Amino acid sequence: MNLSIVINVCYIIASVLFITGLKRLSSPTTARGANLLSAIGMLLAIVGTLLSKGLEFQWIIAGLLIGSAIGVFVALKVAMTAMPQMVALLNGSGGLASLLVGWSTYHYHPDATVLTTISTYLAVLIGGVTFTGSVMAWAKLEEKVSGRPILFKGQKIVNSILLLVLLVAGIVYCMDPAHNYPVFLLIVVLSLVLGVMVVIPIGGADMPVVISLLNSYSGMAGAATGFVIINSMLIVAGSLVGASGIILTQIMCKAMNRSLANVLFSGFGSAVSQKGGTAVKGEVKPIKPEDAYLILEAARSVVFVPGYGLAVAQAQHVLRELGELLEKNGTEVRYAIHPVAGRMPGHMNILLAEANVSYDQLMEMDSINPTMETVDVCVVIGANDVVNPAARHDKSSPIYGMPIINADKAKTVFVLKRSMATGFAGIENELFYYDNTRMLFGDAKQTLQALVAEFKSGH
């Protein structure tokens, strides 16, 4: 009895630490300490649980050791550019854990109350979808499978049948869990299949939305598990994460001017939508790094607009070097970050922070756009759709209405690009044909290195 009071006090303190941790994450100066607070909360929750009466420790110790070793290894090894994949995988392992806990509980008490059984069903369903969905997201980001949406005939029908079977199986299972073990196994398998099915039609550029949504699911799976084993700690922490993931998902969707349903079901960026948008006419004007240097050298204000291409080319360090050289030359240097640039919310901020770019140089879209007309040179690096002016005026364009960074309003625009291929959304970008745009073709890293070399030899 006394022990359970101690455990619950641990859980209460842990909840407070989680809440404080999340709250203090809202400023770069307090964020690191906030994460530590939250980690202490987690430790407390684990220690509290270990006080439970009658625990057998040998397997617990083994599991904790193996999991910690893998966790430490992957966390220290992963490159900053691969962070979206990493977060996806971590999400997936949380989801899988919830599924397994649900399964284990059911196996131990097959004749639990109907309320417990419903919770088990939800934990397994959400956990399973989170697991395979995250693995698919990882595979897409890692380019193990094509980043483009995978669509096939009758996809909606297949998915509808899948959902229907899951629903019916759930009802059958919840009515009489003790005699329906095969139905339970069917639910496990179909949940895993569903996770794959919901992520394959989503294009690479929409991954920020998917990852934050899966993050929300992993929290919800945890909360459902909390209902299964009647544990308030799981419910509080799980629903905090569930809610935060949903909010983040909404922010991402708003940044793309699309509804969540549109992201999830439209197969945006597939071959079909390429017909959208007006064909662009005109000529692109390439420029050599030597000439680009002269323009940059004379500029008073430069804004860099990074996109996923920066991450692919691993060019963040040389970009910072160029930025510093420009600053030494008396130029004002800023970085404009679109909310959905990259493959994960805040992806670009992380990359630039890794390269030692000060965060007060990182500007959000809304604060940079009003000043864009006073900018001498805007350098677009590996970004495409987030600077496409068609989003402002071309009603036939698939991205019409999406808020963009107004790179075209700058006096001169440099676009660093590998080739004239379209962006992930598969849409032509008229910015490349504008009179004030110059194209720097080639690998972004090499181009930036050439510019840095010009600066160094010019002094």
Partner 1 sequence: METHLDLTTLLDLIFLFVIAIFLGVELISKVPSILHTPLMSGSNAISGITIVGALLSTGLTPGSAFCTMLGVFALIFATINVVGGYLVTDRMLGMFRTKTTSGTAAKEVKSAAGGSK
Q: How far is the CB of 459 from partner 1 (least distance, A)?
A: 19
**In the complex, least distance from residue 71 CB atom to partner 1, rounded to whole angstroms:** 3
- What is the 3-state secondary structure of 32-76? HHHHHHHHHHHHHHHHHHHCCCCCCHHHHHHHHHHHHHHHHHHHH
Residue 119 contacts residue 224 (beta carbons within 8 Å): yes
Question: How many of the chain's residues bind partner 1 (CB under 8 A)?
Answer: 115
**Distances 99 to 174, 225, 458 between C-alpha atoms, Å:** 16, 8, 61
Distance CA(263)–CA(398), nearest Å, equals 12
- Please give the Cα distance from 96 to 91 (Å, whole number): 9
Whose tokens are 């999340």? That residue is 22
Identity of the residue, 57 or 152, whose beta carbon is nearer to partner 1 in the bound complex:
57
Q: Which is nearer to partner 1, 95 or 267 (CB)?
A: 95
d(CA 290, CA 183): 68
Dist. CA 115–CA 123, nearest whole Å: 12
Residue whose C-alpha is closest to residue 302's, from 452, 454, 407: 407
- In whole angstroms, give the CA distance from residue 292 to residue 175: 71
Nearer to partner 1 among residue 28 and residue 286 (C-beta): 28
Tell me how far apart the alpha carbons of residues 308 and 426 are, in angstroms, rounded to a whole number.
15
Alpha-carbon span 43 to 217, nearest angstrom: 23
Q: Which is nearer to partner 1, 55 or 420 (CB)?
A: 55
Interface with partner 1 in residues 322-341 (CB under 8 A): 337, 339
Q: Using CB under 8 A, which residues numbered 360 to 379 contact partner 1?
A: 360-362, 364
Owner of token pair 């979206």: 84
Helix/strand/coil percent split, the chain, to 5: 65, 5, 25
Of residues 160, 247, 164, the one with CA closest to residue 198:
160
Stretch of residues binding partner 1 (CB under 8 A), selected from 34-42, 262-270, 281-289, 392-400? 34-42
Return the number of the residue (55 or 163) whose C-beta is nearest partner 1: 55
Instruction: For residue 248, give both structure tokens.
Output: 């983040």
Which residue lies nearer to partner 1 by CB, 145 or 251? 251
Which of 212, 384, 397, 429 binds partner 1 (CB under 8 A)? It is 212
What is the distance between the alpha carbons of residues 408 and 373, in angstroms, rounded to a whole number? Answer: 9
- With contacts defined by CB under 8 A, name the span among 53-61, 273-281, 371-379, 388-396 that binds partner 1: 53-61
Q: Tell me which stretch binds partner 1 (CB under 8 A): 59-67, 169-177, 279-287, 300-308.
A: 59-67
| Residue 18 in the binding site for partner 1 (CB under 8 A) | yes
The full DSSP string for 374-416 is G-SEEEEES--GGG-THHHH-TTSTTTT-----GGGSSEEEEE
CB 200 within 8 A of CB 149: yes
Closest to partner 1 by CB, 3 or 74: 74
What are φ and ψ of residue 434, in 5° steps?
Answer: -65, 155
| Residue 270: strand, helix, or coil | coil
Closest approach of partner 1 to the CB of residue 295, in Å: 25
Nearest distance, CB of residue 134 and partner 1, angstroms: 10
Cβ proximity to partner 1: between 128 and 267 the closer is 128
Shortest Cβ 32–partner 1 spacing (Å): 4
> Among residue numbers 79 through 108, which ones bind partner 1 (CB under 8 A)?
80, 83, 86-87, 90-91, 93-94, 96-98, 100-101, 103-105, 107-108
Q: How far is the CB of 121 from partner 1 (least distance, A)?
A: 13
- Considering only residues 263, 292, 344, 431, which one is a binding residue for partner 1 as defined by CB under 8 A? 344
- Smallest distance from partner 1 to CB 52, Å: 7
| Minimal distance, residue 308 CB to partner 1, in Å | 14
Which residues are designated catalytic? 385
Q: Taking contact as CB under 8 A, which single stretch among the options 64-72, 175-183, 298-306, 377-385 is the one that binds partner 1?
A: 64-72
User: Per CB under 8 A, which of residues 213..272 are in contact with partner 1?
Assistant: 215, 218-219, 221-223, 225-248, 251
The site map against partner 1 for 415-444 (x = CB under 8 A) is ------------------------------
Nearer Cβ to partner 1 (181/298) = 181
Cβ 105 to partner 1 shortest distance, Å:
6
Contact with partner 1 (CB under 8 A): which of 1, 5, 57, 393? 57
The length of the chain, given as a count of residues:
459
Angle between helix axes 181-199 and 114-141 (nearest 10 degrees) is 30
Q: Count other C-beta atoms under 10 Å from residue 329's C-beta.
A: 17
Tally the C-alpha atoms within 13 A of residue 39's C-alpha that lie toward its C-beta: 6
Contact status: 16 vs partner 1 (CB under 8 A): no
Tell me if 387 contacts partner 1 by CB under 8 A. no
Q: Is 175 in the site for partner 1 (CB under 8 A)?
A: no
